[in-house]
Structure 1
């Protein structure tokens, strides 16, 4: 998932402050802009791990333009942080599935192209599907 982050400019004596508008209470900081963005990713992952452990749903990310229109963030710098939810869902559990050989070959080829494993690719694809098709 991709989450917009709002970054309040820092200077020689103040760190760059980061807020994740879609994740209430998720914030971070860094001494440089690059460090602020990297720390935001870590803060988002920790925030999400806590929410997952509590059995809660991860909020969807709103379009960055929606947040940019919020006067609270006027003059802030914007960036987007990518978080892989498949790596945050707790311990791995082995499952047994049956797929046609041609489908399995296509999955393996795609995983290789993306530098991923078969399991990693399937987990990401399944999560993406579930996110795009919420229960009624």
Structure 2
């Protein structure tokens, strides 16, 4: 949902299906782009914290709430890359100096984890 902007006020964006997900932009297009980024970050954070990502609501259901019925609201839509939701494992080949691999293996062993899970944990914490 996009709240109309003006020459002195930004376009505000609220994502009804993602609680607490909002954004803004100085122009309509910037607001849409920023909303797409906010949604991707919201989804990434939810998955990283083992939280469910709600399915998109039906447009008629959202309209029926009447919450965004005023003329100050514009309906907007963005595409989200489905890869953001893909939890399927994939084998990758990486090249690292031996000293880095040795350190990685030591840290993983101390944490009681595998090399792969340690790399994933480090990447997700960055």
Which secondary structure state, in structure 2, belongs to the residue aligned with residue 17 of structure 1?
strand
Distance (Å, rounded) in 2 between the aligned partners of 1:58 and 1:9: 27
Stretches of structure 1 lacking an aligned partner (at least 5 in a row): 1-5, 96-136
2:22 alignment counterpart: 27
| Large movers: runs of 4+ above 6 Å | none
* TM-score, with structure 1 as normaliser: 0.60
1:126 equivalent in structure 2: none
Deviation of 1:63 after TM superposition, in Å, equals 1.1
RMSD, matched Cα: 2.1
User: Relative contact order (C-alpha < 8 Å, sep 6+): which is higher?
Assistant: 1
TM-score (norm 2): 0.64
Aligned match of 2:68: 73
The answer on whether the counterparts of 2:40 and 2:84 sit within 8 Å (CA) in structure 1 is no
Equivalence map 1:49-68=2 (5 Å): 49-68=44-63
Rg larger in 1 or in 2?
Answer: 2
Question: Which whole-Å CA distance do the structure 1 matches of 2:7 and 2:23 have between them?
Answer: 18
How much has 1:79 moved relative to structure 2?
A: 1.4
Greater share of residues in strand: 1
